Amino acid sequence: MSSAVNYEDRIRKLLCDEFGLEENLDVNEKIFSSGFLDSMDVLTLIVLMEKEFAIKVPVFEASLDMFDSITEINKLIAKYQ
């Protein structure tokens, strides 16, 4: 079994560029639970991740928890690549 690729820096850059989050955002910082982004932003985030990483996130499986930190987003990308 090969190890998953780490996309944390690319994810952080996307979050900073698209949503104005701080560049020093910790990989485990809660993005939605802490109020940095709201539930409406998750749709934009899904589209960005799908385009940037050539993945498809099934709508029926998507939840805010899957996008609540850079670490969780990285796991999501690894799951769907």
Let me know if residue 64 belongs to a domain: yes
Assigned domain for 9 exists: no
Report residues of the chain scoring pLDDT below 50.
Answer: 1-3
Question: Residue 1 has what pLDDT?
Answer: 37
Q: Hey, how many other C-beta atoms are within 10 angstroms of the C-beta on 40?
A: 7
* Alpha carbon distance 77, 56 (integer Å): 9
Predicted confidence at residue 5, as pLDDT, reads 75
pTM, to two decimals: 0.89
The tally of domains found in the chain comes to: 1
On whether residue 73 sits in a domain, the answer given is yes
Q: Give the distance from CA 58 to its chain's centroid.
A: 15
Q: Which residue is it, tokens 């944390």? A: 8
CB count in 10 Å sphere of residue 12: 20
Enclosing domain of residue 54: 28-80
Q: Could you tell me if residue 69 is inside a domain?
A: yes
Question: Is 21 part of a structural domain of the chain?
Answer: no
Per-residue model confidence (pLDDT) at position 77: 95
Q: Annotate 13-31 with DSSP letters as a single string.
A: HHHHHHH---TT--TT--S
